[in-house]
Each structure stands twice: as C-alpha cells, then as structure tokens.
C-alpha cells in the first residue's frame, strides 16, 4: 500500500501484537478496520507522565470545528476520500476513517495519543464512579420509582374505560343472543 500522506510505501510491522501498516518516512500508520480497538484494549505500551501531559485531550475535552479539520486523505485500499473526525468527539485527535470501513489513517504519534486519551479517560471514569456512584444510584432509583408510579396512574386511569368497553361488548352480545 501507498502512504496517503506522503506517497511512500507502507511497511507491515507489529505494534502491540497487531500487524499494522506504517510509513517510515512520515510516521503515519494505517490500521485496518477493528485494529484500533484491539490496540487500545491491549495496554502493552506504557507512557511517561511527560507524554501524558503533552496530550491536551487526556485532561479536558478538546473540540475541533469541522472547517478546522481540513481535507481528509484517500483510503490506501480503495482510493475513496476518508472522513475526518475528532476521535471520540472530544480528544482533539483528528483521524481519517474510510467510509467503506477499510480502516483508519493516523498521522505520526496519533496512535499513542489515542491510547493515552483512552487510558486517562478510563482512570477518570473510575474516579468519577467512586465519587458519584451513590448519587447516580439514588437518581436511578428515583427514576425507576417515578416510572412505576406513572405506569400505575395510567393503568388505574384506563381500567374504568376498559371495564366499560368490555361490559358494553358483553351486554351487546347478550342482547344480540337474547
């Protein structure tokens, strides 16, 4: 395959046990469909605090307007223009994804940045769950209770109507037979 960024040949290499296609010239990587998810789940790479601190999206949401993203690359497999998007909507890492599901193009160091963002978000999620878990549980219970109350009110309100309809039908049938 040819690098969509600089036009050089992509070379197969193993990254965290996954075969990926990398460009030795520009440092970009092509990940076939599903490979990014596998790499993010493996957690073989470790990152220094300095590397983590260098990724703004690991600490706070980073939005990027569509017009600021520029044009996407072409898929090295099918030649169709890739769709550019902000990975996970708020990472600040712009990825190029083939609309035909062939894969994702990441510029130099974006793979590592994605790993950092996912790992840091998961740490924050665990801390938030510990901190907010009791409040969230109380809210869930309140919503369930209110839903049950609403269903009961609707059921009681409809029962007289249903009862009258059934009684009317039964009287009509009895009157018809009689």
Band of residue 103 on the pLDDT scale cut at 50, 70, 90: very high
Q: What is the DSSP pairing of strand 18-22 with strand 103-106?
A: unpaired
Predicted local distance difference test score (pLDDT) of residue 160 = 63
**pLDDT confidence bin for 114, thresholds 50/70/90:** very high
Helix (H, G, I), strand (E, B) or coil at 161: helix
Mean pLDDT of 153-165: 61
Q: Which of 75, 70, 101, 103 is nearest to 85 (CA)?
A: 70
Reduced to 3 states, what is the DSSP secondary structure of residue 106? strand
pLDDT digits (tens, 9 = 90+) for 3-22: 999 999 999 999 999 999 99
Q: In angstroms, rounded to a whole number, what is the distance separating the alpha carbons of residues 14 and 7? A: 21
Quick check: 47 and 116 in contact, CB under 8 A?
yes
Q: Which two tokens stand for residue 29?
A: 């990587």
- Is pTM, for the whole model, over 0.85? no
Stretch 134-160: mean pLDDT:
74
Phi, psi at 78, each rounded to 5°: -120, -10
For residues 154 and 82, the model is more confident at 82
The tokens for 103 are 């894969």
CA distance 143 to 139: 6
pLDDT band at 178 (very low <50, low <70, confident <90, very high): very low
What is the SS3 assignment for 105?
A: strand
pLDDT score at 167: 61
More confident residue, 66 or 167: 66
Q: For residue 4, what is the DSSP state?
A: T
Query: For residues 159 and 130, which has the higher predicted lDDT (pLDDT)?
Result: 130
Residue 168 has pLDDT above 90, yes or no: no
Q: Could you say which DSSP state residue 79 is in? A: -
- List, for residues 22-69, the tens digit of each pLDDT value: 999 999 999 999 999 999 999 888 899 999 999 999 989 999 998 888
The total of other beta-carbon atoms located within 10 Å of residue 132's CB is 11
Q: Cα–Cα distances in Å, from 21 out to 102, 112, 137, 144?
A: 13, 15, 45, 49
Instruction: 43-46: list long-range contacts, CB under 8 Å, 24+ apart.
Output: 43/115, 43/119, 44/16, 44/17, 45/16, 45/112, 45/115
DSSP 60: S
């Amino acid at each position: 395959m040819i690098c969509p960024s600089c036009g050089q040949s992509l070379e197969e290499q193993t990254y965290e046990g996954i075969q990926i296609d990398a460009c030795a010239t520009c440092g970009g990587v092509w990940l076939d469909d599903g490979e990014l998810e596998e790499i993010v789940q493996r957690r073989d790479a470790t990152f220094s605090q300095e590397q983590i601190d260098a990724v703004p999206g690991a600490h706070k949401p980073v939005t990027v307007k569509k017009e600021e993203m520029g044009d996407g690359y072409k898929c090295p497999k099918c030649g169709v223009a890739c769709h550019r998007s902000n990975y996970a909507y708020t990472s600040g890492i712009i990825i190029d994804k083939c609309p035909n599901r062939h894969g994702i193009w990441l510029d130099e160091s974006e793979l590592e940045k994605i790993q950092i963002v996912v790992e840091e978000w998961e740490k924050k999620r665990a801390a938030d769950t510990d901190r907010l878990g009791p409040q969230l549980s109380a809210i869930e219970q309140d919503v369930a209770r209110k839903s049950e109350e609403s269903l009961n009110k609707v059921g009681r309100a409809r029962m007289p109507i249903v009862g009258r309809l059934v009684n009317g039908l039964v009287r009509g049938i009895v009157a018809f037979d009689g």
